[in-house]
Chains A and B, each alone.
Chain A
Amino acid sequence: MRQQICIGDNLRLERRAGEARFICSCDRDLGTGQVNFKEHCRVKESSSSDIGPGYASSDPEMAGQMCFREFFCPGCGVRLTTEVALVGSPYLWDIQPKL
C-alpha cells in the first residue's frame, strides 16, 4: 500500500492520521485528498495577456474573457499549478489520485 504519492516537485498526497492529505514540500497541509487542493491555495488571478512578455493579445476584448490563475502554497509561496480559464469559471479539479 502506498503511503504517499508525489505530484510534481512540491506537492504530495500523504497518509496522516489515517487520512489522505495534500502536503506541500514545506510541510504545509493543503487539505484532505477528498477536496481540490486548489481551494487551500493562495490564488492570483490576472489577465491572460499579463502572464509575461510575449502573451499580449491583439484582441483585448476576447482576451478579457479569459484569466490566468496561479495557485501558491500559503506556507512557502511556491507555485504549485496554474490555469488559463474563463473568467468566473470554477477551479478545475484536475488531480484526484487515490491513496
Chain B
Amino acid sequence: MEQTANIIWDGVARGYIPPDVLRISPKLQLHTKGAADVDPITYEVARNTLLNINLEHGQTIQKLSISPITMLVRDFQCAILTENGDVMCLGPYLLYLGNMLGLITKWILENRSEEPGIEDGDVFLCNDPYVGTSHQQDTGLTCPVFWQGELFCWVSNSVHYSDVGGPMPGSFCLNSNTIWEDPPCFPPIKLMERGQIRTDLEQLFLRQSRLPDTVAMDLHAAIAGLSVAKERIIKLIERYGPDTVKGVMNRIIDAGELAIEEKLQLIPDGRWSERVYTEAAVPGDRGIYASQINIIKEGGFLYVDNEGTSPQVGAINNTYAGLAGGTLAAMTIMLAYDLAGVSGGLYRRVKFRPVPGTITCADYPAPISIAGQFNMPMVVATATGAVAKMVACADSPLREKAIAMADVHAYGGSIFNGINQHGQFFVGMNAGMAVGALPASPVRDGVDTGGLFWVPGMEAANVEENELAWPVLTLYRRHNTAGAAGAGRFRSGLGAEEAWVLHGAPQMSMEVYMNESFVKNQGLLGGNPGGRSFFQVKKNTDVRLCLAEGKLPQNLADLSGGDVPMYFKGPPITLEANDVWSSNLPNFAGYGDPLDRDPALVAIDVSEGKLTTADAQQVYAVIFGADGSVDEENTRACRAGRKQARLAACP
C-alpha cells in the first residue's frame, strides 16, 4: 500500500496501512526460502491441498459454531497468509474480510514481534477496526504456523460474534458519536500462548458480551478452524518439505498476479468513479452523506481513492480496512473471478490513496460498530459501480464480467432482542434477506434471489430455522416483482420480502432496521437503479384472528391496525403479540436502456408472473396483443415514440 505523505497510518490514530517493508523484530525468524523448481504435478497437488485446507478451515467453523449468523448464514472468512502477512487465498465467504486478515497480521508482525513476541502455538485476537476489522463484531483470530523455529505462514479467520458489548444488544450502536460509546476495541492480544488459551484474556473478551456462552462456542469454533488448518499445513510440509510448500505458495500468488496483469491489459488506461448516498448519521439526523470511490488505471496497476466522500460524522463510519476490503471485494468479483479465492495477486496490483477523516476512511475516535450493517455494503456498492464502469470499457471477454450494483444497504437485515420462547435472553440478526439478488450484467439478466455476490458462500436461514431460534412465525417470504426497480436491457435478479409475527413470547425489541427514505442504488450505463429497501411495522392488527380462522395474511395492507411511522434509522420499537412487521430487500441495479430490452424476455417475465402487462408497457414499452403475445409492430412504434418523447421533454 502506498503511504500518503505526512500522515501516520498506524492503526492507532488512523487506520493501519502497512509499509512496503515491514518492521519486524530480528528476534522473529521468518522462513522465506521457496523452491523455484517445483515440478508441475507436485505443484498442482500441493496447490489444491492448500486451497482445500482453507475450505476445511471454514467448514470447521461452520460445523462447530452455534450462532445462526455463523452456523447458518456463514458471516465469516478464513485465509492462508504468507510469513509476512500477504494473503494467499480466501474462503468463499465474506470477501471484504480477507484483506483485513492481512492487515491484522501485518500489524502484529510490526507491533508484537518484539514484545510480547510471536511464538509457536500463539493465537492473536483483534477486533480493533483501526488495526484491520470492518467493525468490532467481526473479530479476527490469526495464528502463526512455525516450522523448526521459523515462522512459515499464518492461518487466520474473522467471525461475526453475536454480541461483543457496547450499549446496544447485538453491538450495533446507532447512537454513538465516539468510539467510547461503541463496543470495546481490542488491539491484537495473545489469546493463546504456546498452545494454551489465556483464560484471563478469554474471559475479558467474553465478559463484554450479553451472550457469553454463544460467543464462547463460536470463539472455540474459530480456534478449532485455525487448529485444523495449521495441522494440515504442517503435514503438507512434512510430506513435501518446507521449501517446496513455500515455493508453491509463492507461485500461487505470482500466478494470480499474472492473471490479473493479463486482465488489466484488456482495460484502457483512464479514470472511473461512482458516488452513492446514505442518510442519518444517527437516529433523528436528517443529513445526507456521500460515498465516492475513484479508480485510476495506469498500465498494470489500479490506484484507488475516496475523494468526494463526506467528512466522518455520527455513527456512519468505517476505517481504512473497510475501504480497502470493500473495494477489493468488488475487484475480486470482476477481476479475480477465475482464481478460486487466490486474491493475493490482485492485492499486489491495487494501490490505495485514501482521504482520511471521511465516512469511508475515518480517523480515531469515530465509532465503527454499525459499519457491518450500513457502511460495508455501501463501500462495496460504491466500488462495484466504479469497477463495473471500468470493466465495461474493457475488451471482450472481460467486459462481460461487469456487474451492476447491489443495494447500498443490501443485507436488508434487522437486529432484535428479548426473551425467547425458551425463557432465555436472545439477540437475533435476521439475515433472511441474504437471499439477495444478482444484479444485471452487460450480457444477461441477474439471478432472482441469487445471493449477495461479495459473499459467495452466504446462505439465508430457512424460515423454520429462524422460528426455531427466535420467537417468531413467518407469514411469508417471497420474490419481489420485476417492475421498474432494476429494469434495463438486462434486468436485476429479483429481491425478496418477508413478514413476521411474534410467536411464543409476549414482546421483543426491534433495535436496528432500515427503511430507506430514497433509493440509493445506481443503475449501470442506462439501467434503472435498484429499488428502495423498506421496513414496515403494523401495530395492533387482527393477525391472530386471521390465523385462528385458518387464513395466512399475505399483505400488511390487508390487516387492520395502524402503521408505525418509519425512518431509515429510528428508535427501538417494542413489538407485541398483534404486531406484524416486514422487510423488503429490493431488486438491485439494471444494465442498459429498458427500451432496448428484448421484448421476448419481457414476455417471459410476464408469462412467469414476475411482471404485469401494465408494467411491461410502462417500463419497457412492450405491447401485447389480444392473444397475449408481443405485438412487435406496435412495440417498435411505441419505443420509437417514447424515445422521441424523451427528447421533446428535454429541449
Contact = CB atoms under 8 A, between A and B. Distances in A.
Interface of A: 2, 5-11, 42-44, 48-49, 51-59, 61-63, 65-66, 68, 70, 72, 74, 76-86, 92-99
Interface stretch (B324-332, B360-368, B527-535): B527-535
B647 A42 contact: yes
A93 B274 CA distance: 9
A78 B525 contact: no
B286 interface: yes
B646 A84 contact: no
Given A77-B646, A95-B389, A10 B519 contact: no
Contacts of B290: 86
Interface string B496-532: 0000000000000000000101111111111111011
B592 A8 contact: yes
A84 B487 contact: no
B646 A55 contact: no
B649 A44 contact: yes
5 contacts: A55-B484, A72-B643, A78-B526, A94-B386, A97-B393
Q: Which of A11, A53, A56 has the most CB of B within 10 A?
A: A53
A16 to B, nearest CB: 17
A81 B525 contact: yes
7 nearest A-B residue pairs (beta carbon): A52-B484, A77-B643, A8-B525, A62-B517, A97-B270, A42-B650, A59-B517
A7 B272 CA distance: 12
A55 B288 CA distance: 18
B275 interface: yes
B483 interface: yes
Given A76-B643, A78-B643, A49 B484 contact: no
B485 A52 contact: yes
Nearest to B589: A82
Contacts of B646: 42, 44, 70, 72, 77, 79
A22 to B, nearest CB: 12
B515 A77 contact: no
B196 interface: no
Contacts of A95: 270, 272, 389, 393
B307 interface: no
Nearest to A42: B650
A59 B595 CA distance: 30
A83 B589 CA distance: 12
A60 B442 CA distance: 33
Contacts of A63: 517-518
B301 interface: no
A93 to B, nearest CB: 7
B268 A2 contact: yes
B199 interface: no
A61 B568 CA distance: 13
B6 interface: no
A51 B566 contact: no
A7 to B, nearest CB: 5
Nearest to B641: A77
A78 B619 contact: no
B271 interface: yes
A10 B485 contact: no
A79 B601 CA distance: 19
B497 to A, nearest CB: 11
Interface string B582-605: 000010000111111000000000
A59 B567 contact: yes
Contacts of A96: 270-272
Given A57-B517, A92-B273, A98-B268, A5 B647 contact: no
B51 to A, nearest CB: 35
Contacts of A42: 646-647, 650-651
B532 A55 contact: yes
B158 to A, nearest CB: 32
Interface string B405-447: 0000000000000000000000000000000000000100000
A61 B280 CA distance: 13
Given A7-B393, A82-B526, 12 more contacts: A2-B268, A8-B591, A9-B489, A9-B525, A11-B525, A44-B650, A54-B532, A79-B594, A80-B593, A82-B529, A84-B518, A84-B521
Given A55-B484, A58-B534, A86-B288, A72 B647 contact: yes
A9 to B, nearest CB: 5
Interface in B610-638: 615, 618-619
A9 B272 contact: no
B188 to A, nearest CB: 39
Nearest to B288: A65
Contacts of A55: 484-485, 519, 531-532
B120 interface: no
Contact of B268 (A44, A65, A99): A99
Contact of A94 (B274, B484, B567, B643): B274
B494 to A, nearest CB: 12
B505 to A, nearest CB: 28
B566 A66 contact: no
A10 B484 contact: no
A69 to B, nearest CB: 10
Contacts of A85: 275, 277
Contact of B483 (A5, A54, A59, A98): A54
B392 interface: yes
Contacts of A2: 268
Given A58-B517, A94-B389, A66 B288 contact: yes
Nearest to A65: B288
